[in-house]
Structure 1
């Protein structure tokens, strides 16, 4: 049931948002010259997949978890995209392809060993990663791997269709602030 909802929401989301996505893409061209950001992430069963987002940081920013990146790397338009969570919209493509769900644990990077270990111990990789979830709406990010893994497990164990819609609604209405970015 969740996969069907994911597919339908992603398909209709991409179709209806397409003109808006084009506008954000064009603004991104002026902002960084390269508006689409792709990065290999850890997917279901630890299978790698390429996550797609709108770029929010300068092109030469190191490929690290957000909390390890410098806040000075974020462009002014990128700040707007992060604050409104519009940078996540291209991930609807990942959802449509079945690599992600709208609701699930945020996919980590392969170089985040502590997070990968904590998630493996809690069986988090048995589900598709998601755009949002319990941790995101409660502002728990990848800077606290054990807490994140514990929260991901709680979400997986209690995920119902009602909670699915609850997390999406909370995200759309502004709960959570997304991944923190380092101060340095």
Structure 2
């Protein structure tokens, strides 16, 4: 049932939002020269997949978790995209092809060893990663790997169509601050 809803929502979301996606691509081209960001992430059963987002950081930024990146690497347009969560819209393509769900644990990088170990121990990789979920609406990011893994597990155990819709509605309504970037890394 959830895969069916994921497919329909991502298909119609991409269709309806295509003018917005094109405008963001156009503006992003002038911001960084490369508006689309593709990065290998950990998927279901720890299989790699290519996550698609709008670029919010300078092209030469190191491939690290957001909380380890420097705030100075975020562009002005990127700040807007992050605050509005519009940088996440291209992930609808990931949902459409089945690499992700709209709701699930946020996909991490393969170099986040502590988070991988915590999630592996709790069976978090048994499900598809998602664009949003319980941790995101509660502002728990990857800088807290133990808490994040426990929250992901709690979400998975209680996920039903009602909670699925609730997490999406909360995200669209503005809950969650998005991926944190640490000013200490400047």
TM-score bin, normalised by smaller chain: over 0.9
Give the aligned partner of residue 136 of structure 1.
136
Give the aligned partner of residue 60 of structure 2.
60
Shift of 1:179: 1.1
Give the aligned partner of residue 109 of structure 2.
109
SS of 2:92's partner is helix
- Normalised by the length of structure 1, the TM-score is 0.99
Two-structure CA RMSD over aligned residues (Å): 0.4
The number of residue pairs the alignment matches comes to: 184
Give the aligned partner of residue 100 of structure 2.
100
- The unaligned stretches of length 5 or more in structure 1 are none
- Normalised by the length of structure 2, the TM-score is 0.98
- The unaligned stretches of length 5 or more in structure 2 are none
Give the aligned partner of residue 21 of structure 2.
21
Shift of 1:19: 1.0
Shift of 1:29: 0.3
For residues 1-184 of structure 1, what are the structure 2 equivalents within 5 Å?
1-183=1-183, 184=186
Q: Deviation per CA, 1:33-59, whole angstroms, max 9, x where unpaired?
A: 000000000000000000000000000
Shift of 1:10: 0.2
* Deviant stretches of 4+, over 2 Å: none
Q: Deviation per CA, 1:97-155, whole angstroms, max 9, x where unpaired?
A: 00000000000000000000000000000000000000000000000000000000000
